[in-house]
Amino acid sequence: MSEEAFYESVHAYFDRAALYSKFDAGILQQVKDCNAIYRMKFPVREDDGSIRVVEAFRAEHSYHRLPTKGGIRFSRMVSLNETIALASLMTYKCALVGVPFGGAKGGVKISPSQESEGFRERVTRRYTAELIRKNFIGPDIDVPAPDYGTGEKEMGWIVDTYKNIRMNEPNIYACVTGKPLAMQGIPGRTQATGQGVYFGLRSCLERPEVAKKLGLSPGLAGKRVILQGLGKVGYYAAKHLQQDGGAVIVGVSEQEGGIHNPEGLDIPALFAHRQETGSVLDYPGAENVDRAALLEYSCDILIPAALENQITAENAPRIQAKVIAEAANGPVDQAGDAILCQRGCLVIPDLFLNAGGVTVSYFEWLKNRAGVSFDRMISRHEEIANRNMVAAMETLTGQTLSVSHRDSLIHGPDELRLVVSALEQTMIRAYDRIHEVWLQRDLPDLRTAAFLLSIERVAESYSHHGIFP
């Protein structure tokens, strides 16, 4: 079963990296195991008045830091072991990018595209009530976020349900992230994971030694990219790669099929086309192709941004991309990974590459706890300093700046700019550190380096814990 393969892959990646760790086996076992699991079944009324029993999960993988944090997935493929594997990846990715949370994940077994909005709302509110009942949600306990099949709307229903049940608690808006702006969300969260994929890929491929080994020129400009999954993560990753990095998106694979154009696809226009027609197929200038076969087409970078186990021993020998950018969680299983590495393909691992989402979720959580937006605290202060600087420049040079030039110098960053620059800095720093560990400890690949770095950070934290009877 694919969810078993994913669970086993995450454990195998952990075990491979743990071989290089200085920590003893007991601490490593504690880092690896999932701390708590809540499995539930609850009744939800269908639109026609009948009752459906829905199965759902929440896994809190690691209490070395609190709160725990992780998205909620709506998919008919959700299972307990998939949820645990995803929760453990959350622990490792938080440790990697310096987000002070343990990992968690939620899963609800419904197929969101086939449900009405009313049914999804009733499921989300009931799931939230179940989490509250068992103390599996709260600003200092466990903080969900969007994942596959969920978005701002669901996060809005969660905070509204929480607020109405726990109205006397402080910081209630910090009980969930990825909320709409009007419900104390933060600008830049929706695009954060995809934009982080762009920053992470750029940090890696601008290294001349990495590019040379792959037979590529350094940087992203002109690189041919194939994307799987034009959802929240995939869309923004491709958009930023195209618009900010100068990459050429030559293929996009979706559930309904794939499209290919060696001259490049305009990602925002393609997104609009899919919204209008319900499909990526028949996009002007592109050829309709098989969605699975497209992953094996010639390109420099392949970005799986849909689900786990998309590259396995079955198709890995035919993959032509030189770089696999794991925007999704677990898109390459361990057998596929071994084949790709042996063929000289560089896999940029999920626990690093898609950590932009939790990074910006952390900013949202901080903002909710502070009860004030970031720019509000600094913009007036910076504006006064900048105004004084511009006045001094004008006095010294005897020249007056144009109104637009003056404005751009005086006004400080807005909240979105602050969020994006902090996200960029986080992804650059994390990559630098992984790269350093990769080389210094002579590790076989980037994934082992990323796992080792995060395992040791979590283990370090556990080794200071008291063990209570």
Binding residues for ligand NAD (CB under 6 A): 71, 146-149, 193, 228-234, 253-255, 291, 305-307, 327-329, 354, 357
Q: Is 379 exposed, middle or buried (0-12, 13-18, 19+ CB in 10 A)?
A: middle
Torsion-angle region of 205 (φ positive above 0: left; ψ -120 to 50: alpha; else: beta):
alpha
For residue 292 the two structure tokens come to: 């699975």
Whole-number minimum distance, CB 257 to ligand NAD, in Å? 9
Beta partners for residue 346, in sequence order: 323
CB proximity list for 277: less than 8 A, separation 6 or greater: none
Whole-number minimum distance, CB 147 to ligand NAD, in Å? 5
Amino acid (one-letter) located at 432: D
CB 107 within 8 A of CB 34: no
CB proximity list for 39: less than 8 A, separation 6 or greater: 55, 56, 57, 80
Whole-number minimum distance, CB 319 to ligand NAD, in Å? 15
CB 220 within 8 A of CB 203: no
Per the listing, tokens 């701390």 go with 35
Phi and psi for 10 in degrees, rounded to 5? -60, -40
- 232 given a catalytic annotation: no
Q: What is the CA radius of gyration of the chain?
A: 23
Whole-number minimum distance, CB 102 to ligand NAD, in Å? 16
Q: Is the dihedral of CA 440, 441, 446, 451 positive or negative?
A: negative
**Between residues 216 and 252, which has the closer beta carbon with respect to ligand NAD?**
252
For residue 166 the two structure tokens come to: 């726990």
Dist CA 366 CA 372 (whole Å): 9
Whole-number minimum distance, CB 90 to ligand NAD, in Å? 9
For residue 110 the two structure tokens come to: 């419904």
Torsion-angle region of 135 (φ positive above 0: left; ψ -120 to 50: alpha; else: beta):
left
Catalytic residue, from 32, 105, 223, 367: name it. Answer: 105
**Between residues 332 and 346, which has the closer beta carbon with respect to ligand NAD?**
332
**Between residues 87 and 455, which has the closer beta carbon with respect to ligand NAD?**
87
Closest residue to ligand NAD in the complex (CB)? 231
Give me the torsion for CA of 371, 372, 374, 380, rounded to 10°.
Answer: -160
Whole-number minimum distance, CB 110 to ligand NAD, in Å? 13
Whole-number minimum distance, CB 213 to ligand NAD, in Å? 27
For residue 164 the two structure tokens come to: 């109405």
Whole-number minimum distance, CB 327 to ligand NAD, in Å? 6
Beta partners for residue 259, in sequence order: 252, 288
Amino acid (one-letter) located at 226: I
DSSP code per residue over 113-159: GGS-HHHHHHHHHHHHHHHHHTT--BTTTEEEEE-TT--HHHHHHHH
Beta partners for residue 258, in sequence order: 253, 289
Question: Nearest Cα to 133, choosing from 97, 161, 95, 100?
Answer: 161
CB 173 within 8 A of CB 373: no
CB 39 within 8 A of CB 130: no
Whole-number minimum distance, CB 329 to ligand NAD, in Å? 4
Kindly list the catalytic residues: 105
